[in-house]
Amino acid sequence: MVEPVFIMDTIENSNKRKVVSQWVQQHGNELYSWAFHKTSDEATAQDLVQETFISAFQHFDNFQKASAPKTWLSSILKNKIIDHYRQKATTISTQNPVNTEDETAQWFDSDNRWKEEHRPEPWNTDENLLDNPEFETVLSSCIGKLPVSWSTCLQLKYLSEKDSAEICQELSITASNLWQILYRAKMHLRYCLERSWFKA
């Protein structure tokens, strides 16, 4: 004879699976889009969203029905993204020290003024580019061309919106070092976007 407790547990798990499956259908695509925007990597975004729904199932009893499921799931995903960058930053600081040397110096003349071929140009656009899937693909590609340490700093600062002091601590770098990395990373990102999107 099956124990009543086991029967109840099976029923509860079945109900949880049904609810979480509904959440996947209702919110999965939107959560993926947000994760991709924050990580600029399809595989990473998919993994983080999958981990979000697994965590939602495992901690289903913590869900407060007073809040919307999307709000709760977004909160879980946000923490997953933060953990992703924290782990990535730790790996870089221990195995791949940050290097700020690059070729941006050749973009300037001896008076430290822009050379004509590298001079920034205004980006005339009325659309919200971050809502454009094609632009997000180009942006992801450009970020992927940066050194890993640079792209990590860029994503930690502007996509995960982490405090500079916290980034410096996690990567074991100085504030000046971080400023140089972000400056050069943005320079390269601008250069890539101008040629891959705005002049394409």
Using the 3D structure, point to which of 36, 60, 86 is the last residue of a domain.
Answer: 86
pLDDT of residue 66: 67
Q: Decide if 91 is inside a domain.
A: no
pLDDT at position 52: 92
- Are residues 102 and 155 both part of a single domain? yes
Tens of pLDDT, residue by residue over 25-55, are 999 999 998 888 777 788 888 999 999 999 9
122 falls within a domain:
yes
**Number of domains comprising the chain:** 2
Write out the residue range of the structural domain in which residue 129 sits: 96-198
Q: Do 21 and 105 sit in the same domain of this protein? A: no
The one-letter amino acid at 164: S
Give the count of alpha carbons within 13 A of 52, CB side only.
32
R_g of the chain, CA atoms, integer Å? 22
DSSP 172: T
Same domain, 161 and 79: no
Of 38, 60, 86, which residue is a domain's last?
86
Per-residue confidence (pLDDT) for residue 89, from 0 to 100: 64
What pLDDT does 2 receive? 35
Report pLDDT for 12: 56
**CATH code for the domain in which residue 149 is found:** 1.10.10.10
**Residue 35 is part of a domain; what is its CATH number?**
1.10.1740.10
What is the tens place of the pLDDT at every residue in 6-21?
Answer: 334 444 577 888 888 8
Query: Is the same domain home to 149 and 107?
Result: yes
Q: What are phi and psi of 109, to 5 degrees?
A: -90, -175
> Alpha-carbon distance 9 to 23, whole Å?
21
The Cα–Cα gap between 200 and 193 comes to 9
